[in-house]
Structure 1
Amino acid sequence: MLKKSKVTISVIAILLMLCSTVPVNADTNIQIIGNGNTVTFNDLNGYSWASDAISSFASRGIIEGDGNGKFNPANKVTREQFAKMLVLTFNAPLKNATSETFADVPTGRWSSTYIETCKDFLTGYTNPFGGLPTFHPAEAATREDIAVALVRMLGLTDKDANNAKYASYMFSDAGSISSSLLGYVSIAAERNLISGYNDGTFRPQQSISKAEAVVLLNRATKQAVTSINSDLDLSAKVITSNDPKKVTLQIEAEEGTKVTVDGNSVTMNNNGFGKYEGSYPYTFTGEGSKTFTVTGTKAGKTKTVSATAAYQLDAPVLTITYCPGEVANKNINLTGSMYDKNYSTTLTINGSKVDVSSEGKTSNWFWPCTLKEGKNTFNFVLTSSSGKTTTQTKTVNYSVGGPELTITSCPAEVSDKNVALRGTLYDKDYNTVLTINGEAVATSTAGYNSNWNWTYSLKEGENTLNFVLTSSSGKTVSQTKTINYNAAKPELTIGYCPSEVTNNTVTIRGSIYDKNFSTVLTINGEEVDTASADYKSNWEKTYTLKEGENTFKFVLTSYSGKEVTETKTITYKAAQSDTNPS
């Protein structure tokens, strides 16, 4: 048993020796090996001020030893080592460069991924001759480098310093601090991320040890968040304004958080109480809702929250104070008022613009309109400049009375061909036109009583007259009258026509007349004379007689067809000679 035990112990010892001789390059191992395991280093005597932080970082896989149980806390930290520590401390998502960012960091270098990930925090050096900048990965990281990297990793800038020249007052060697980095060193010193030495110096270009680097990073994580795994403090709420289409997203986040809204960067300002505040204005182009995606990032942590704003407008207010259902007048005035708290408005009635109002002001409107007989429909549409509408429909029934026709003179019997017709016409609301047998005779204006007269030429016998009075509304009134015209016969006067004569020639004389018509006189079929209507014409005609009886037939005919006939006889006796025969 004893021998067997010794053999067993020897085998274990050999295995331990073999394992201890296997070289472990901590700088090339990018795997996290801690994951909460207890890691103990045997070279931390004299580093009680850093031992807890070193153990914590080792257990989380942020740092590693040399494989022989040693941490080598006094060793200087190179820039690439610190890049790795910075990335792992804040659990930043790793980034792989697709091409070289720094001339001295090829993509195959073990630290290239860490350097690429934290290049915005631990920056390189500009090439004064152009070309790619350099990083100097193997150089020792300086206190100035680390102060700036810690401030930037926390999401802070030199503008977050309470006093951008704080380092100038605190450190006697502040002149040695790069001028462009003075603000970063100031905020790092203000927040005790890094401190100076007992002699009042900062020593910006001095390197730091691995132990110092761990303590500084540990201190930074405590300022950044309570726990590296705790949730990022980020909130957003919607603030409305007097203009409902304009809203502001009010954002609050823990100090150093970079914030975007829907991918757009938001300027965050230090409120002096350890918080960042920012705002994101948004204007709706139409009614609806908008959900904002707010993303905050800090020290490798990301949190997304959302906030929703809605834009829903009230419709403009339309009041109709007068729009009766029944009227007897053609012309009425529609009245009312309109209002919108936030927008100007326009009122139309049946598509015609009636009035406008300014935002926040009540406007009284009126609209004169002319109705048609029967049902009149009115569509009221009040539209705000936001596009919101209010609609009302009203109906007004207009009962039109017919126009009034009065005939004051239209005799039933006349003996004259021309008769004068008289009367009046009237309509309260409309113009009118009077026709007699289709011929326009007179007109009247709405609301005025018009006297009319018209001389009409009759035909003999019965004359029917159709009186039609039509208003411009289309309403009509009709009357029918009959006038009987008995035309008088023309007047024939024979002034001289002797019954006996002894001369064989005779001149017959007289006159002809007709009040209403022209006339023609014939004697024995021969036209002797004519006369115009209402004109007395004297006529005479000389005839050579034959011995004995001479008969003359007088016919006077008017253009109405009436005639007068007379017959006269003249006896011609030749005179006897008084000479006696011898």
Structure 2
Amino acid sequence: MTTAVVRLLGYSLVDSKLAYVDRFKDKDEIWTGFIPYVSIAVEKGIISGYKDNTFRPKIPVSRAEAAYIIWKAYGEGAKLQAYEPSGVNPQVKKFEGDWNTIGSDELSIALSFADSSNGSITFFSEGEGITRPFTYFQNKTDSIVIHLEENEKTTNMILALQDDNTVNLEVVLGDTYTLKRVTANGDSTNSAAENPLDLKAFEGEWWDKDKVFGFEIKATGPDSGTIEYIDRFSITELFTVVSSNAKSIVIQIGDSKKVVSLTLFSQDTLMYIDGMFTFDMSRK
């Protein structure tokens, strides 16, 4: 019921703050696909849970509870502003692509952005790429701050554009690098200069390790296709490729502003980022 009300009110999952479900002691009983809806409902005051800090997702809602939720949604809730999907700022898009240390192989990276707060970075070394998700915020029009979490540690990096093809990368409490953009004609000193991935490399059915979240990708053209989300509510969406590099593509779903970043680890493993979730996926 919570999911239905949030959908009817027109809220977008892009801006869902998942931490709002942490108040519930039984949050692990909430099916993964419904967590963003529950989070928005809590944030907007549509629901608050029970007095013992539980949500009780498996217990049928009573008529009194249903009436209260509807009143909150359409009485109090009518005063609320609906969420609007937020995409990647054009200024941030300037950071996207492949970058190499000037005159050496010291550092090579590829950056891609899924939405206004999430992205992925691939570190290249000896022909291999390691991709990690990150969150970020725009500090200035020519600067962003990246928060990269790995092995229970957080690495903060500041990227500042000097011009369209030069960026300074400063690891907070660490080293500073000056990087040059890898051009389309292959001006590079290492593997980050590989040609952009063919969409067909992503075709097929993919599932997370728990077999809860799955989707199937089919290419209908060099830069377009369909993505079918395979769960209890199977949905098929059209998409177009809006950017790509040697390891990743970013697709835009339909006519909306929702974007999804897909990064290949290998032929049969990839990372999925859509602004709400990050999943390591395996090909079926």
The TM-score with structure 1 as length reference comes to 0.14
Q: Relative contact order (C-alpha < 8 Å, sep 6+): which is higher? A: 2
TM-score by length of 2: 0.28
Larger Rg: 1
